[in-house]
Structure 1
Amino acid sequence: MSRRDEGSVTVEAALGLAGLTVVTVLLVAGLTVLTSQLRCTDAAREAARLLARGQPHEAAAAVHQIAPAGAGLSVRQTGDAISVQVTASPAGGLLPAIHLDATAYAVAEPGTEAANAPG
């Protein structure tokens, strides 16, 4: 082994570990975004269902429980049609360039307050 080759294994191992760390962080960030998007979708769907049944307070509580922390809820009603949008930032804002949103639709059940509310 010549003098010029000393330490090359250490450098290669360090570069390999750094690359492995970057890949692992990217995988974790991707999984965090994916699960946060699924939680937003579930929260929007549950809120739309509860609003269609005439339970607005339960809908807000469901979004608070299901969606990622700090998620926002916006409801738009036109006649009997209810549109719910849940927006959030994944990982508590650690990924500032990514904004998640999910929309769900429902039709208010006859005889509920939501069905009789002005559009």
Structure 2
Amino acid sequence: MNGVLAGDRGGVTVEAAVAVCGLVFVLALGLAAVMAVVGQVQCTDAAREAARLVARGDDSRAERVVGEIGPRGARWVIRREGDTAWVEVTITRLGVELGARAYAVLEPGVADG
């Protein structure tokens, strides 16, 4: 065993360890991306549904819906401007700001009063 390849002992183990670390990193990055997409979809769904309820004049129910449909820890803003309303739902995940905004035209009885 004192030949030319005697210094390569354990080389395969090191290469396997590096490969496994790389694989774990790629899997963690993929999982973070999937979680970001899920959070974005939840923000979009919550904003859309809340805007629809605000357009009907049901602001309290809209806030409850955002709390139920939106991602945990989400922040939301409900605003009315003239005969339109918009709802913005945002959340911070892994240092990235995710959010969605939905607009709706107020129903005639709601816009007048």
TM over 0.5: yes
Counterpart position of 2:108 = 110
Q: Aligned match of 2:96 in 71, 95, 98?
A: 98
* TM-score, normalised relative to structure 2: 0.92
Distance, in Å, in 2 between the alignment partners of 1:45 and 1:89 is 19
* Number of residues of Structure 1 aligned to a counterpart in Structure 2: 110
Distance, in Å, in 2 between the alignment partners of 1:82 and 1:11 is 59
Question: Is 1:62 equivalent to 2:65 in the alignment?
Answer: yes
Mark the runs of 5 or more structure 2 residues left unpaired by the alignment: none
Mark the runs of 5 or more structure 1 residues left unpaired by the alignment: none
Distance, in Å, in 2 between the alignment partners of 1:51 and 1:77 is 9
Secondary structure in 2 matching 1:83: strand
Q: Which deviates more from structure 2 when the two are superposed, residues 72-81 or residues 9-18?
A: 72-81
Q: CA deviation at 1:108?
A: 0.7
Q: CA deviation at 1:116?
A: 2.9
Question: Is 1:10 equivalent to 2:13 in the alignment?
Answer: yes
State percent identity of aligned pairs. Answer: 47
Secondary structure in 2 matching 1:104: strand
Secondary structure in 1 matching 2:96: coil
Give 1 or 2 for the bigger CA radius of gyration: 2
Residue type at the aligned position of 1:116: D
Distance, in Å, in 1 between the alignment partners of 2:92 and 2:71 is 8
* TM-score, normalised relative to structure 1: 0.87
Question: Is 1:35 equivalent to 2:22 in the alignment?
Answer: no
Q: Aligned match of 2:53 in 42, 50, 53?
A: 50
Residue-by-residue CA offset, 1:60-107 (whole Å, 9 max, x unaligned): 0110011111111111211111011111123xxxx1x20111100000
Flag the structure with higher strand content: 2
